[in-house]
Every structure is written in structure tokens, then in C-alpha cells.
Amino acid sequence: MKKLLVSFALILISLNINATISQSGITNLKQLDKNGIIDLVSGNQLTGFISDGPYEGPIKQTYFKDGRYETIYDDRVFKGKWRAEGESYATPQGKKMCTKNNNVTDWTCFYWYKGNKDGATYAYIIAQGKIFHQYHKIQSVVQINQEKKKAEDRKKAAERKRIADAKKVADKKKAAERQRIADAKKVADKKKAAERQRIADAKRVAEEELNKKLALIPPETALEKAQNFIYDLEEFVGKNPEEFDIIEIAMFTINTKQILEGVMNDEQINTLESFKEYVTKSIAFKEFQTRRQDTRNLIEVKKINVVINDLRRSIKLLISFSKENLTSTSIRLIDEKNKSSQLIINNYKAVSELENKNKELTTFLMYLKTESREAIAAKKTAKKKKAEEKALKKDIDIELTKIDQHINKLTTYLAENLSSLSAEIMDLTVKKITVLKTTKNKDLKELKKTNQAISNFILENNIVTKLDIVKEKKKVEDRKKAVERQRIADAKKVADKKKAAERQRIADAKKVADKKKAAERQRIADAKNVADKKKAAERQRIADAKNVADKKKALERKRIADAKKVEKARYASYTYFRVNNDVGCGSTYSKERRNDIFNSKYKGRWMKWRGEIVIVSSDKVSLNVDNRGTQDLSVSFAKPGAGYNLREGQFITVRFSMKSTGGCFLPFGGEKATIVN
């Protein structure tokens, strides 16, 4: 069986799906003739799987009875025409289906089979003993359309029901909205009534509070009443001089002068009372006097408010006072004094109660501040002491670490140099180790003293371990690296300066170049005169060179002939059979290796293949190269119309550039093809 080509596959893209169609377990495999193909596909939709090299994945094909088909692959739709050929008596090659995509002009033919597998019947397309299409589901287009119509009818019915349900929901919402508005109105009316009641209650409470404060104002003495009367009268007359007889007013002022000075006797009282009878006949004065008395009352009420506000501020300070640094007793007293203060504010009977409570809270707040400051100071002292203890412990730990390091160093030194040390140094070293071990439980001063003494001993006797030598080498290397980094940084600075100098040099060079250009133009003019003279000599030289060129051409023709021989040998290495065995249907390599071999070895290479024309158009031709099946190679001509006079069945040789690989189902593709005589 030969490779086949479905027309829509000409424009499919390669899918990265590792899937293949299993060929095991298939029985009763039978090729379909024209009638079998029509019975299988006409008016039906086939659902299955394609597997041909890079083209793998689900596929769905619909073949309409009017000769149209529609293919869905990789979420793309391809449309075209189809026909079936080959009666039951035809050869296997004659029993075929041919299709033509709407975007191409050529028909492509392939073969259908049926077989059984796992108790089910499948339709197949097979080539070279391999299955490339497998279809497991066949549905009538009429049935599909009926199911679609039923689904649409169900969808429409559901939509009608949704609209009806939505209308019911909307009606319910409208009714609920009307009820909500009515309920909201009731709530609003209740709120308005409650607000009116609140305002009335607030007004009543304010009046009660005002009356309560007015009741606290001490009653005026007879002298204060008399003085206020005189002051009110003087102010009223100043604003209303026509209201009373000014002479009477003047005489009254003279006779009551001592009252304003704080002296009042019976005679002045009688004068005051008789004059009151005179002025109180004036309604304007009585109203004025009432307003003045209200003003005096408000002044007294403001004084009471100041006392209340002072007490409230003290309560607020008490409540907000931080309890972090207070004793439990003080915290309890804060709560008690807060409650008693609130009781006084709500039930005061005299201003003195408010004043006394405020003084009490002020004194208590001062006590709390003192207690808090003392607690904070005590905490700071404790914290400082703890920090000092921590620092002392840290210093001791440092010295103990040094003790351990010295013990370790001296012990290591003894072990490394046991055979070479003198008895004196060895004895001293052992004693020092003993001193270090016995010093561990002593105070910081003694630890420092011992460590310093051991350090001096190590330095004076040049005691160095192998580890010390390694560390010292590392320090030297680190210093070298630091020096190198600094050298690189300095070199960069020098380089930056050089770049700046180079930019300046280029600018200066440009100026010089401009001058040179002017000189060059002059030189060219002068050179032209010289060139004209040279032309005559050149013509003679050309004639001489022609003779030499003729000789070279003869040599070139020989070189071309030799190159053609080489080219012929190269074309012989790119035969169809070799390429097919490497990357085509005959290859046993994996798909990835076939792609790599094709891209590195064959793609873009020029080749010459000979075969029989199976499909031809003016711009393209498909050849059967191995005389089996149908097309092995499909090429487009470099020159449009080059295939105009070609015929199917004719044998030709084409020279082409390899473009795409072929498989058991797809032909190799080429471009820029020319017919070789």
C-alpha cells in the first residue's frame, strides 16, 4: 500500500501530541469500493483520530450528499468537494475517494477500509501497512440536524420559561418594593415622631438643667438688688433719655450715690422704693430690667458650667491615665473616684460640691503622675542593672572563649610539636594550660589578666599551629584580592579618562578631516587630468587583457564541466530512496530524530528526482517516484506556467530545493523546481 494525502492536510499545522493508532487486534479488514464508500460517508459525519507524523489528534469529517465536505481539525474548519470511484470489480488502486479543498485546484485520492476491533466496527485509511485515520463514530447529518433542532427547541422553551419566571420575579420585586416604600414611610414617620420627641425631651432636659443651675445661684442681698436697680436705670436712661424726666433721674442719682459705694440706710431705702414706683410704670423699663436680670443669671450659669467642664476634664484625664505603671490600689481608686465624680455631676446640689470634687481629682491626678514617674524610674534602673549584668556576662563569655581558644591552641601546639619541643618549653606550656583551666571560675578582671599573660607567652615563644599558618595565608590572600580590586577600580578610572581623551581626539580629528576633504577635492580635480591620460593607456591594457581572458574562459569551461561531474555525483547521493529511508515512510527513527535529520541534512538542498506525473497543473506537479501507489513528491515550479504542456502519466526529471518532509501519508515537498532534459 502507498502513501495517501488528504487535501485538507496541506494546510494543517503540526500538533505536539504523542498519540498513535494501535494496529493490533483488527480483524476482517476489508477495502471499500465506490458503493461501500458512499454508504459509509454520504450524508454522514465521521468522528475519529488522525496520526501521520507531525499531524496527530482528533478529527471530525462531514460528507454531504451534494458532494461537499467539511473537516474540523485542531479547532479549524476546512471545506471542499468529494467523490467516490471504483466499482466492486475495479482494482484496489481504482477503489478510492477523491477530495479537493476549496483553496486548491488539485484533487487528491485515497482509500477506505472497514475492520473489527474489540467487538466494534471501525473505518480506516491505511497506507504502507499503517493506519493513518481511524473513525469510531458515524452519525447521519439528518439525525444531527434533528438533534440540533431539538436542542434549539429545548433552548427556546427554556428561554421562554426563563422570561416568564423573570417576569414573576420582577412582579414580586415590584410588590416588595411598594411594600418596602410603605414600610420605609412608616419607619420615617416613626423616626420623625421620635425626633420631635427627642427635641422636646432635650429641650425639657435643658430647661431642667438650666433651672437646676439657676437654683444654685445665691440670692441677691438688699444692697446688691439696690445697686443692680441703679445700674439698670442708668443704662436704660442712657439709651432712652426721653422715657423719664431727666431732673427726677438726676435727683435720684444724687440721693442714692452712697448705695453704689456700699452704704445703705433707711432714708435711702425709702427714696429707692418711692422711685421704683415711679419708674416701674414704664413697660419698656420693666422689660429692659428683666433682660438685664436674665443676662446676670446667664453669667452665673456660665460660671457654673466652667466648674462642671473643669470636673469633666479631670474625669477624662483620670479615665485615660495609663495604668501601666500604677499599683493595683491606685487602679482601684481610679474606678471608685470616677464613679463618685459621675454621681456628683448628675446629682449636684451646690457649686461647692463640684469645686471640691474637682480639687480632689486634681490632687489625685498629681499623686498618680508622681507614682507613675517613680515606677518608670525604678524600671529604668532595673533595666540598666540588667543591661550591665548582661554586658558583664558577655565580657566574661568573651574571655572564657579566649581561655578555651588558648587551651586549644596550646594543646594543639604540643600535639603537633611533641617530638621537637625542648623540655623547658614543654613544661611551661603544660603549666600555662593548667593555669588556664583553673582560671575559668574567677572574675572578669582575673580572666582578662590571665588571657593577656597567655597571649604574651604565645607571642614571645612564637607558638603557631598549622591552622594559624593556614589562616595567616588566607589573610595574605584576602589582602592581595583587596589590592587587586583597588587596582581594577583605579584602572577603570584611567580607562574612563582615556575614553574622554579619545572623544576629544575624535573631535579634533574631524576638524582635521574636514580640512583634508577640501584638499582631497582639489587633489581629485588634479587627478582627473592625470586619469584622462591614463585612459588611453588603459584601453591598450584592456586589449591585452582580453587575450588573457579568452584563455581563462577556456579554463573556466573545463572547470564547469568538472563541477557538473561533481554535482551529478552529489545529486546521486540525494536519491528518493535514501531520503525516504532516512526521514520518510521507510525510516525507523523517532519522529524527533527524523525532524532533526531532515533539518540538518536535506532541507534547502538541491536534488534531482525522476518519476511519473500523477497530478499536474501549470505551476505544480506531483510525481510517483517509486512506481507504487500515488504521489511521492509535490513541487512548485520556479517559473510560473512551466507545467502547462505536461501530461499525467508522463515521466520527467525535476531539479528542486527540498522544502518539507514526507511520510507514509504525505509526499515530500519541493520548491523552485525546473524540468531537467
Residue type, 6: V
Note the pLDDT of residue 571: 64
Strands of the 55-63 sheet, one edge to the other: 27-31, 113-117, 120-127, 130-140, 44-52, 55-63, 68-73, 76-85, 96-101, 108-110
Helix (H, G, I), strand (E, B) or coil at 492: helix
Q: Identify whether the C-beta of residue 621 lies closer than 8 Å to the C-beta of residue 643.
A: yes
Note the pLDDT of residue 469: 82
Note the pLDDT of residue 493: 93
- What is the C-alpha to C-alpha distance for residues 545 and 535, in angstroms, rounded to an integer? 15
Alpha helices in 221-350 (DSSP H): 222-239, 246-255, 257-260, 266-279, 283-320, 328-347
Q: Which residue stretches of the chain have pLDDT < 50?
A: 1-19
Residue type, 559: R
Note the pLDDT of residue 279: 81
Domains in the chain with CATH codes: 7-147 (no CATH), 222-320 (no CATH), 465-573 (no CATH), 574-676 (2.40.50.140)
- What is the C-alpha to C-alpha distance for residues 614 and 110, in angstroms, rounded to an integer? 13
- What is the C-alpha to C-alpha distance for residues 202 and 566, in angstroms, rounded to an integer? 118
Note the pLDDT of residue 570: 61
Q: Which residues contact 350 (CB under 8 A, 6 or more apart)?
A: 216
CA distances from 478 to 485, 487, 663 (A): 10, 14, 65
Note the pLDDT of residue 61: 92
- What is the C-alpha to C-alpha distance for residues 168 and 165, in angstroms, rounded to an integer? 5
Residue type, 568: K
Looking at the DSSP bridge assignments, the partners of residue 608 are: 655
Give the tens place of pLDDT for each residue, 11-59.
Answer: 332 333 333 577 778 888 898 999 999 999 999 999 998 887 667 889 9
- What is the C-alpha to C-alpha distance for residues 602 and 579, in angstroms, rounded to an integer? 8
Note the pLDDT of residue 18: 34
Element housing 173 (H / E): helix 141-216
Greatest C-alpha distance within the chain? 166
Note the pLDDT of residue 214: 72
pTM: 0.33
Note the pLDDT of residue 8: 40
Element housing 179 (H / E): helix 141-216
